[in-house]
Structure 1
Amino acid sequence: MTVFEDLESQVRSYCRNWPVVFDTAKGSRLTDVDGNSYLDFFGGAGALNYGHNPDELKKPLIDYLTRDGVSHGLDMYTRAKGEFLDTFQEIILGPRGLDYKVQFPGPTGANAVESALKLARKITGKEALINFTNAFHGMTLGALSVTGNSMKRGGAGIPLVHSTPMPFDNYFDGKMPDFLWFEKVLDDAGSSLNEPAAVIVETVQGEGGLNPARIEWLQGLEDLCRRKGLLLIVDDVQMGCGRTGPFFSFEVAGIKPDIVTISKSISGYGLPMALVLMKPEHDQWGPGEHNGTFRGNNPAFVTATHTLRTWWTDDTLEKDTVRKGEKIEEGFNRIIADNRGTEMFAKGRGLARGIQFEDEGLAEKVAGKAFEQRLLLETAGPNDEVLKLLPPLTTSDDEIDEGLAIIGESVRTVTGS
């Protein structure tokens, strides 16, 4: 592995926790160059909701490439793009009563967020934004300005301005009414708050520690935005595409954001792709006002179209994701009950699940022990205090049981229970 240490930048991160060379991947497993199989509860940080190399998508992709289908098209009209748009309207937007225009920004979640922030400012003519404590929206400068993590913000090297953080749901452990501070500073002419263009929010904070917002909190946030004339942006980059059960994570609250950002698993195959969805009246871009060389990833359009046709024509996957999430929660609660000497609790929604440890460093140690037993996990939260699971939605019940057994043993080993 010396080639990585000799040539690759120090910025590399995940590989430091998993120091093996991976070679092949299928379903919920990766295999290293020595033939060892690893159960993957990391799922490409949410980019592999349907697992590695799903057969349902591989053949259409190979057929498309074999017939010399357009691979790079910027924003030109192509058959692959047209078929995706038709399918997205037919299977996703139409049945949910969502009237959105679709923008293809650069093919990353951060680029989708940058697009959304620029658009909100263009629509309203205002510069300021509202974000939330412990939010994560990406690593580019605009996305970092609405991100909470101090380490990540520190990497910007310049002041990150034009945004004001507000308390996310349950930030005060239920000791303060929802939006008390938010509404007070909005209405107070002496608060020094710059009049905001929009609010950006994750319905479940992933990198921030698997923090799910209550349904009533999300509904209250939408109501506040409507009353105060603020645009509502939902960042569904990690929690969309079925991660919490429904295709969009905000569906359970019955809200309709003004702007939505989508990426990670929208292609279904781990191919780079991103969307910005906006209500038609908010589509105020001029031609080329936000562009990018790789905003037309046609192979990703192909796999995205077949993803929707394979998994989203009915609610089978949605219900199964909810059920599997409850299965993991039950497993976590058993682990917690078996380790009463260690302060920890389960959190999350759907198949975005975690265990938060009160003692610093425990989550990282548990993840390390799990890796020794060939299970891939990551940590989350401002102090990496949460053991975070994002397994593919197609992970089998037997694989979930296998992973829970490894996690349970790892917790016992680390805590000495």
Structure 2
Amino acid sequence: MTVPHPASHVFERLESEVRSYCRGWPVVFDRAYGSRLFGEDGRPFLDFFSGAGALNYGHNNPVLKRALVDYVERDGVTHALDMSTAAKRAFLEMFQEVVLQPRELPYKVMFPGPAGTNAVEAALKLARKVKGREAVVFFTNAFHGMSLGSLAVTGNAFKRAGAGVPLVHATPMPYDEGPDGEGPAFRWFDRLLAGEGSGLDMPAAVIVETVQGEGGINVARSEWLRGLAGLCRRRDMLLIVDDIQMGCGRTGGFFSFEEAGIVPDIVTLSKSVSGYGLPMALTLLRPELDVWQPGEHNGTFRGFNPAFVTAAAALEEYWRDGRLQKQTLARGEQMEQGLAALAASRPAAVSEVRGRGLAWGVEFADPSRAAAVCARAFELGLLLETSGPRDEVVKLFPPLTIEEQELEEGLALFGRAVRETERPARPAGPR
């Protein structure tokens, strides 16, 4: 196991107690390339975390790095708020040509700020402005960000408690299941909307993740998503899909909602949209919803041009044809088969394996087991994190560009971590 470098003490002295990932991974990282990070001592770690989905194309992707270095070396504009720049123009043209037009998506593009929660805040604000209503519906175990508006539509009790103020104007509904287990949640939701005595204020919008990442890799069925989209149309509510973690190819298609055949009114993107781990977020909206007044929603870092450069390079390199999508789906099948075999060999320990593309979760019957598996995996040289309301799920998020043998290596290390965290059976007592 890598011993923390003495220099790490500076983090304990000066950095806030709010830090979290470093507690599970007690090493000072120094370099990263492809699917691996390296400690200061040179020890490699296979990355099945991918910056929480911000590094779909791996660390220091050489194509994106070259584009970034060339741009910086020629003194390209770095900071520009919402001024027009050559880098922004190139990204917008590439995004329209490679992403929007082939999918016949009509969206206008808004740059709301550098982070995913900025994109969500803009989406919520716009939906309320367009519809003139305050309420927004979200779903159990949802996660949409850490600023107050995003927290209001987040389900995790621990994160909500950190707000320090009431989180209002948001209503939770069950995610892809009826409250009695007998039908999809949108049917129950529809009855509430129709009932004058239900107590539910007419919402401006519904916000949903097609796959809940932080919620435990919960995968919504395509028919449920189509039913929800239909309900939003019938009841004059906007449908917002939060694709911050599952977009940019994580589930196969560029957008995670493509498989369901729906077209949301608003889409939020961030994390891997820059392709290089640089801060960048988008709020995509139907043109008729673009009712903003100039400067009505702004931010100092909504125009980070180096991110435009790497984002355009990623689209050119990986989304001109269907190669990455096909590879992601093939690697996803490889991962599904490996995890299913592991689960079958440990039926008492593993409750469920679920996922899509290269987003997978393994739920353990004993919730504390997931953290123990992640800790042992780190000792073995594999980076994993937990998710779910009780941290009962191990989340597997390798880069989309991972090689087949690297994926096999990671699955083998994960299986070893599962086996080596098993508690020995207690000897039978006297009869």
Q: Give the structure-2-normalised TM-score.
A: 0.95
2:222 aligns to what?
215
Match of 2:65 among 38, 58, 67: 58
Cα separation, 1, equivalents of 2:189 and 2:390: 26
% identity of equivalent residues: 62
2:347 aligns to what?
340
Cα separation, 1, equivalents of 2:52 and 2:314: 18
2:253 aligns to what?
246
2:117 match: secondary structure: helix
Mapped contact 2:120–2:268 kept (Cα < 8 A): yes
Match of 1:201 among 208, 231, 235: 208
Q: CA deviation at 1:133?
A: 0.4
Match of 2:419 among 386, 405, 412: 412
Match of 2:125 among 112, 118, 121: 118
Cα separation, 2, equivalents of 1:295 and 1:376: 31
Inter-CA distance 177–169: structure 2 relative to 1 (3 Å threshold): closer
Q: Which amino acid in the other structure matches residue 81 of structure 1?
A: K
Mapped contact 2:367–2:393 kept (Cα < 8 A): no
1:357 aligns to what?
364
Q: CA deviation at 1:195?
A: 1.1
Cα separation, 1, equivalents of 2:210 and 2:154: 14
- Structure 1 unaligned blocks of 5 or more: none
2:204 match: secondary structure: strand
Match of 1:88 among 86, 92, 95: 95
Cα deviation, 1:45-77, whole Å, max 9, x if unaligned, reads 000000000011111111100010000000000
Mapped contact 2:348–2:365 kept (Cα < 8 A): no
**152-161 or 341-350, which deviates more:** 341-350
Cα separation, 2, equivalents of 1:356 and 1:365: 13
- Give matches, 1:382-393, under 5 Å: 382-393=389-400
1:6 aligns to what?
13
Mapped contact 2:177–2:184 kept (Cα < 8 A): no
Match of 1:39 among 40, 43, 46: 46
Cα separation, 2, equivalents of 1:150 and 1:334: 33
Cα separation, 2, equivalents of 1:181 and 1:158: 30
Q: CA deviation at 1:218?
A: 0.5
Cα separation, 1, equivalents of 2:21 and 2:175: 27
- Give matches, 1:69-84, under 5 Å: 69-84=76-91
- Give matches, 1:254-273, under 5 Å: 254-273=261-280
- Give matches, 1:125-140, under 5 Å: 125-140=132-147
Match of 1:152 among 149, 156, 159: 159
2:4 aligns to what?
none
Q: CA deviation at 1:180?
A: 2.8
Q: CA deviation at 1:176?
A: 2.9
1:226 aligns to what?
233
1:220 match: secondary structure: helix
Match of 1:236 among 243, 247, 260: 243
Cα separation, 2, equivalents of 1:395 and 1:300: 22
2:116 aligns to what?
109
1:375 aligns to what?
382
Q: CA deviation at 1:151?
A: 0.1
Q: CA deviation at 1:194?
A: 1.1
Cα deviation, 1:154-208, whole Å, max 9, x if unaligned, reads 0000110100001101365843344232111111111111110000000000000
Q: Which amino acid in the other structure matches residue 216 of structure 1?
A: E
Q: CA deviation at 1:413?
A: 1.1
Cα separation, 1, equivalents of 2:346 and 2:314: 40
Q: Which amino acid in the other structure matches residue 47 of structure 2?
A: D
Q: Which amino acid in the other structure matches residue 297 of structure 2?
A: H
1:167 aligns to what?
174
Cα separation, 2, equivalents of 1:20 and 1:72: 33
| TM superposition outliers: structure 1 runs of 4+ over 4 Å | 171-174
Q: CA deviation at 1:332?
A: 0.6
1:302 aligns to what?
309
Mapped contact 2:184–2:224 kept (Cα < 8 A): no
Cα separation, 1, equivalents of 2:113 and 2:418: 40
RMSD: 1.1
Mapped contact 2:370–2:392 kept (Cα < 8 A): yes
Cα separation, 1, equivalents of 2:47 and 2:135: 40
Inter-CA distance 173–65: structure 2 relative to 1 (3 Å threshold): farther
1:327 aligns to what?
334
1:144 match: secondary structure: helix
Cα separation, 2, equivalents of 1:114 and 1:358: 36
Count of aligned positions? 417
1:196 match: secondary structure: coil
Inter-CA distance 7–161: structure 2 relative to 1 (3 Å threshold): same
Cα separation, 2, equivalents of 1:259 and 1:80: 24
Match of 2:189 among 182, 186, 198: 182
